[in-house]
């Protein structure tokens, strides 16, 4: 059964640390990305999220947002936790990043 609490690393070198789940399934933590489109110094950034209660199969879905401390953008992640045959936990996620733009006319290019 998947447990989101702890340190997670991805294949690109980014890592995040998640707190224990609250009674409502909420969690917080920090995200340190290894990938960025800016030349500013990368800073550890806070995250807030929620997990669905795990079902009988123990593969919960979750979502969280990261408020980047070095860029004018926010990223929303959604995903699901899986356990492979050897007992290794894995998170499969997708994300959307929204950066601040100066006007509504520029909104079309603000989401990746």
pTM for the predicted model, two decimal places: 0.88
DSSP 54: P
Strand order in the sheet with 6-9: 6-9, 15-18, 26-32, 45-51, 61-67, 73-83, 89-99
Taking the C-alpha atoms of residue 73 and residue 94, their distance in angstroms, rounded to an integer, is 16
Instruction: Report pLDDT digits (tens) over 31-90.
Output: 999 988 778 888 999 999 999 876 666 789 999 999 999 999 999 999 999 988 998 999
Q: Give the helix/strand (H/E) hosting 7.
A: strand 6-9
3-state secondary structure of 71: coil
> Shortest CA distance to 25 belongs to which of 44, 10, 7, 5?
5
CA–centroid distance for 27 within its chain: 11
Q: Give residue 97's pLDDT band: very low, low, confident or very high (50, 70, 90).
A: very high
Domains in the chain, start-ordered, CATH in brackets?
6-109 (2.40.128.30)
């Amino acid at each position: 059964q998947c447990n989101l609490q702890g340190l997670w690393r991805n294949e690109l070198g980014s890592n995040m640390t998640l707190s224990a789940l609250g009674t409502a399934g909420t969690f917080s933590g920090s995200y340190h990305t290894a990938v960025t489109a800016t030349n500013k110094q990368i800073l550890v950034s806070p995250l807030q999220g929620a997990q669905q209660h795990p079902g009988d199969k123990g593969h919960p879905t979750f979502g969280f947002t990261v408020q980047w401390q070095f860029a004018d953008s926010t990223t929303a992640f959604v995903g699901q936790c899986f356990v492979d045959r050897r007992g290794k936990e894995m998170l499969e996620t997708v994300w959307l990043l929204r950066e601040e733009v100066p006007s509504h006319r520029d909104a079309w290019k603000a989401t990746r």
